[in-house]
Chains A and B, each alone.
Chain A
Amino acid sequence: MKKNCLFSNFIAIFISSIFIISCSKDTTEVIDYNGKFKHISGGNLINAMAGEPSNLIAMIAGDSASSAIAGNIFNSLLKYDENLNYAPDLAESWQISNDQKTISFKLKKGLQWADGKPLTSADVLFTWKLITNPNTRTPYASDYQLVKKASTPDSLTFKVTYESSYAPALDTWTSLHILPKHILKDEDINNTFFSRNPTGSSFYKLDEWISGQQVTLKANDKSVLGVPLINKLISRIIPDTSSQFLELTADNLDVMNINPIQYQRVFPARKDLRQKIALYKELGNGYTYLGFNLKKTPFNDIRVRQALNYAIDKDEVIKGVLLGLGEPISSPYKPGTRWNNPNLSPYPYKPSKALVLLQEAGFKKNDDGILMKNGKPLKFEIITNQNKQREMTAVVIQKRLQEIGVEVSIRVIEWASFVNRFIKTGDFDVVVLGWSLSLDPDQYNIWHSSQQGPGQFNFLGYSNKNVDKLLELGRKELNVSKREKIYHEFSKYLLEDSPIIYLYAGYGLSAVHKRVKGIKNPAPPAGIYHNNYDWFVPKSLRRSEISAR
């Protein structure tokens, strides 16, 4: 008897306390985020990463988390400005010789490392030597190995001479983080503790790295480009994107990349979120495509490839998978840039034309409506990696192709298996993948017929002599308008040959808390993050450290 009473009492108290707690919610105060605020330094910016950086020396690390953090710590010789033109970073000017083989960089005066030591051309030479050293475990050496001779005529000048004119050269100098010679000269770059405790020259330096949990950067008062206003950048490691979104809505994150549904459906439905979080969209420099294994039948037949191109409704893919947050493309370049050929348009959705082409290629529909040739159905497998958008894209494509009588199956494969078991071995039919490209238009590594070896990037097996010539010329031509013409023609061939079907160039979608000011909207060509060192958090809007969870 006693026990019964005790138990029921316990339950009663438990339930009533839940009610009491839920009912006593604080009324949320309404904060006004619009208004004039003083540009004042201080505050922190919290973002999330799904993976942990492995190594803050970008040339050795291969992962995006590492290069994202390292990008705040180190400078290169050049960078891109908001309109994607070359701008000074460590170098204040540069000159290309008349024979187009030599570039002379002039460094700014008075550059310092975060530890106060001077930054000179000796550091640049040291970095170049490091990346071209065969013992350095870097996958990115090839561009820098094209430099035949590098020298430092004086402490502010760095000169490189190439074997022959190399148009992508300047682009390569925007991504080489210059490392300090005085710290690293006796270190084994592959094993040095510097990778976990670097000294750089850029806006931030490493404050604290709690393994597995967060990386904190704080403002570098000796920064070569000026001290940033936001004092601390905190990157929390949160592997699951749904947890990240919950943290964003609970005010524990300031910045996050969101997906189309969150951008287009969740935020519009939640007034409370829109009040404190602003959304931005910008076109990135990559695209998603469907690629054929050109060495396999029937994909070696251009009519089949073009037919499938007509059979897929790309607008539907953009509307369904991206909720309209993407652009159709017809060349492997970002729409709106000079390299994009404005005279080309994507293959329209014309299933009837697709059937005509397939018929020419010898395919006829049988009684069940399946396309057959020589007794075999037109059937293949699309493989893709574990990426939600690519999966959904494959599903939409599968539906459309089924309608014209093509049998498509889908397989989603984890990345390491994907690359090694299918791509490298050439054992695949069709892939849905994406390219994330540098800003230089050179695409030799992807499309030149010499790049078909195992592990190289022309894994589709594309070979077109005209394209080969254009790619070779494009690498050498330094005159921008001439280069433009070359790549426009290159795009034309690519579109006709249809080795891939361009699916879309998706928008990068960001959610940023309104307490972060200084963001340019609409986003300039370089994106909203290009000037993140100019952002600031007004004093009244800052979060107090201990209360934030």
Chain B
Amino acid sequence: MLIGISLVSFFIMHLAPGDVTSSEASFNPKASEESRQKLRELYNLDKPVIIQYGLWVKRIVQLDFGNSFASHQKPVLWERTDKSGNVTKGLIQESLPITLMINLLGICIIFSISIFLGTLSAVRQNTWVDRSITLFVFIGFAIPGFWLALLLMYWTGVSNQWLPISGLHSLGYQNLSGFGQFIDLLKHLVLPVSISSLSGLAGISLYVRNGMLDILHQDFITTARSKGLKESKVVFIHALKNAILPLITIIGLSIPGLIGGSVIAESIFAIPGMGKLFYDSVLMRDFPVIMGILTIGSFLTLIGNLLADVGYAWADPRVRKGLVK
């Protein structure tokens, strides 16, 4: 499958008009065409697409993702050290942790809040609690992200100076203590994480609600109730445990989404993550970076699927018991 994805992406990229030499300088009357041609030769862009693909595969197998065209030879994946000991960090090396951090935080928040809301909704089905939670969650999904982002940035950053507006660190960050730095980072992350988790909240809450509804109507719950167990025990221990099972699958399947940062949120909040990296690379026709991100993405998908299957098998006691036997 990796080959399929890489092949498809490679060819799509090369279908696009233009390449990395079509940057700003290309319309500067002082810049010349011969130099651009030289650049093209250097990057092998003048060779037929098949050959370019072959060259790329050869390097990938050695885990050499190459250097970015657009940002002056920064390595795509991991840092390199030159002979004088100067370290140039890789593009993905710098942006992946940031996106991962935001998405992981987002997932934690989504799951914790959704489980709470979904359960509440199921337990109070068709009451105003259920209806308003559903409404609230749907509104969260329906709001255009960048609109809400700008409104919140204005309200929390300009009118009332509670939170920072954009970026990841405050001025003078290095002067803060370790704990101070941590709090500073958290403050910067509140808005971006909230905005990007909002849409996932709807889906998962609904899923939990429907799952819980199904389970709560099943026989073993009625049995538990008739045994005289406390309602909260019934709900939280017996029902919830079963409803959470499929959530594990969902977590596994959302792993590829972990590296796809939202371009829009990253642009607005000035966060240098993978989403923005991909978008800029597309516009700059920076092929090594594009291919690098897509390859890593598909690799993570494979891992995600695997983890989801394994996780489910482990968590479901029926499967576990069966295996042990």
Do A's and B's CB atoms come within 8 Å in the complex?
Answer: yes
Residues of A within 8 A of B (CB): 2-4, 7, 21-22, 25, 44, 46, 52, 54-55, 60-64, 134, 137-143, 190-191, 193, 195-197, 210-214, 234, 236-240, 242-243, 246-247, 249-250, 252, 414-417, 419-421, 435-438, 443, 445-446, 453-457, 543, 545-546, 548-549
Judged by a CB distance under 8 angstroms, whether B168 is at the interface is yes
A548–B187 Cα gap in the complex (Å)? 13
Smallest CB–CB gap between B239 and chain A, Å?
A: 14
Chain B 152-195 interface mask (CB, 8 Å, partner A; 1/0): 01100110111111111111100110000000000000000000
Stretch at the interface among B30-38, B200-208, B209-217: B30-38
Residues on B with C-beta less than 8 A from A436 are: 28
Partner of B164, one of A7, A249, A421, A549: A549
Residues on A with C-beta less than 8 A from B44 are: none
Partner of A549, one of B26, B73, B170, B285: B170
- CB contact under 8 A between A64 and B72, given known A246-B165, A252-B165, A457-B29: no
For B119, the closest partner residue in chain A by CB is A3
Most chain B Cβ neighbours within 10 Å, of A139, A143, A213, A214: A139
Stretch at the interface among B83-91, B103-111, B241-249, B307-315: B83-91
Other A-B contacts than A416-B283, A436-B28, A437-B29, 10 sampled, CB-CB below 8 A, are A22-B160, A63-B25, A140-B31, A191-B73, A193-B84, A195-B72, A246-B157, A250-B158, A417-B17, A420-B19
A243–B195 Cα gap in the complex (Å)? 15
For B23, the closest partner residue in chain A by CB is A62
Judged by a CB distance under 8 angstroms, whether B269 is at the interface is yes
A548–B256 Cα gap in the complex (Å)? 36
Most chain A Cβ neighbours within 10 Å, of B22, B123, B232: B22
- Taking CB atoms and an 8 Å cut-off, the chain B residues in 92-116 that contact chain A are 94-95
Contact at A63–B23, with CB atoms within 8 Å? Answer: yes
Smallest CB–CB gap between A212 and chain B, Å?
A: 3
Smallest CB–CB gap between B196 and chain A, Å?
A: 15
Contact at B18–A3, with CB atoms within 8 Å? Answer: no
A454–B32 Cα gap in the complex (Å)? 11
Residues on A with C-beta less than 8 A from B89 are: 211
Residues on B with C-beta less than 8 A from A417 are: 16-18
A456–B120 Cα gap in the complex (Å)? 67
Sorted nearest first, the 3 A-B pairs with minimum C-beta distance are A212-B272, A62-B25, A545-B172
Contact at A141–B94, with CB atoms within 8 Å? Answer: no
Residues on B with C-beta less than 8 A from A252 are: 164-165, 171
Residues on B with C-beta less than 8 A from A237 are: 270, 272
Judged by a CB distance under 8 angstroms, whether B129 is at the interface is yes
- CB contact under 8 A between A25 and B160, given known A191-B73, A197-B86, A246-B165: yes
- Taking CB atoms and an 8 Å cut-off, the chain B residues in 282-317 that contact chain A are 283-285
Residues on B with C-beta less than 8 A from A438 are: 29-30
Partner of A4, one of B19, B23, B129, B161: B129
Partner of A238, one of B72, B84, B169, B270: B270
For B284, the closest partner residue in chain A by CB is A416
Residues on B with C-beta less than 8 A from A212 are: 94-95, 272
Contact at B26–A455, with CB atoms within 8 Å? Answer: yes
Contact at A236–B82, with CB atoms within 8 Å? Answer: no
Residues on A with C-beta less than 8 A from B164 are: 252, 549
Residues on B with C-beta less than 8 A from A249 are: 158
Residues on A with C-beta less than 8 A from B24 are: 62-64
Residues on B with C-beta less than 8 A from A455 are: 26, 33, 36
Judged by a CB distance under 8 angstroms, whether B134 is at the interface is no
Residues on A with C-beta less than 8 A from B162 are: 21
A456–B36 Cα gap in the complex (Å)? 11
- CB contact under 8 A between A415 and B283, given known A546-B171, A549-B165: yes
Residues on A with C-beta less than 8 A from B150 are: 242-243, 246
Contact at B129–A421, with CB atoms within 8 Å? Answer: no
Most chain B Cβ neighbours within 10 Å, of A46, A63, A134, A421: A63
Smallest CB–CB gap between B178 and chain A, Å?
A: 15
Contact at B29–A435, with CB atoms within 8 Å? Answer: yes
Residues on B with C-beta less than 8 A from A238 are: 166-167, 270
A54–B176 Cα gap in the complex (Å)? 29
Residues on B with C-beta less than 8 A from A62 are: 23-26, 28, 31
For A196, the closest partner residue in chain B by CB is B88
A196–B266 Cα gap in the complex (Å)? 24
Contact at B29–A239, with CB atoms within 8 Å? Answer: no
- Can you show 7 pairs from A to B with CB atoms below 8 A apart? A7-B120, A62-B24, A139-B25, A213-B168, A417-B16, A420-B22, A435-B29
Residues on A with C-beta less than 8 A from B31 are: 62, 139-140
For B153, the closest partner residue in chain A by CB is A246
For A437, the closest partner residue in chain B by CB is B29
A181–B130 Cα gap in the complex (Å)? 73
Judged by a CB distance under 8 angstroms, whether B267 is at the interface is yes
Partner of A213, one of B32, B86, B169: B169
For B154, the closest partner residue in chain A by CB is A246
Residues on A with C-beta less than 8 A from B57 are: none
A196–B32 Cα gap in the complex (Å)? 25
Contact at B270–A453, with CB atoms within 8 Å? Answer: no
Most chain A Cβ neighbours within 10 Å, of B25, B39, B70, B285: B25
Contact at B22–A419, with CB atoms within 8 Å? Answer: yes
Judged by a CB distance under 8 angstroms, whether B71 is at the interface is yes
For A145, the closest partner residue in chain B by CB is B32
Contact at B268–A137, with CB atoms within 8 Å? Answer: no
For A445, the closest partner residue in chain B by CB is B29
Contact at A213–B124, with CB atoms within 8 Å? Answer: no
Contact at B29–A546, with CB atoms within 8 Å? Answer: no
Contact at B30–A247, with CB atoms within 8 Å? Answer: no
Contact at A416–B176, with CB atoms within 8 Å? Answer: no
A197–B82 Cα gap in the complex (Å)? 13
- CB contact under 8 A between A141 and B270, given known A196-B88, A213-B167, A239-B276: no
Most chain B Cβ neighbours within 10 Å, of A3, A212, A420, A437: A212
A417–B285 Cα gap in the complex (Å)? 10
Smallest CB–CB gap between A433 and chain B, Å?
A: 8
A446–B39 Cα gap in the complex (Å)? 23
Judged by a CB distance under 8 angstroms, whether B3 is at the interface is no
Contact at B18–A549, with CB atoms within 8 Å? Answer: no
Judged by a CB distance under 8 angstroms, whether B42 is at the interface is yes
A242–B270 Cα gap in the complex (Å)? 11
Partner of A243, one of B39, B72, B166: B166
